[in-house]
Amino acid sequence: MKAAIIILSDPKSGSEEALGRVFNGLASAYDFKQKDDEVTVRFQGTGTRWIGELTKAGHPAHDLFEAVKDKVAGVSCGCADVFGGGEDVQKSGFDLIKDNPVPGTSGLASVRRLVADGYTVLTF
């Protein structure tokens, strides 16, 4: 099995739903990882803001994030530019993905490439 988890929820919304979505996305990645399935996690859209939150030791999803961070492929570069997550991404050392050269952006993470590579794409 091959699964791609894409986190889109916005931590700045302050809602339990946003936290629930990132938590369940990471928990899904953990589930696939524990079964030795191929899994990748990407942060796109406003989800690029999560890196700055999840790396904080006191965050409720921090331990889960730490358990799957080796499966994080990176963060959509153009989305981080637009939504302000780029600085936290650079500090964290995660890759900025720009394999989808969308005009007017620095490049976004390609969902098409994941599908072409046989991944089932799950969005949270």
Per-domain boundaries in the chain: 2-123
pLDDT at res. 87: 80
pLDDT at res. 86: 77
Fold of the CATH domain 2-123: Hypothetical Protein Ychn; Chain: A, (3.40.1260)
pLDDT at res. 5: 98
pLDDT at res. 101: 95
CA dist 37 → 55, 94, 120 (Å): 24, 22, 12
Task: Count CB neighbours of 121 within 10 A.
Answer: 15
Instruction: Tell me the pTM.
Output: 0.94
Low-confidence ranges of the chain (pLDDT < 70): none
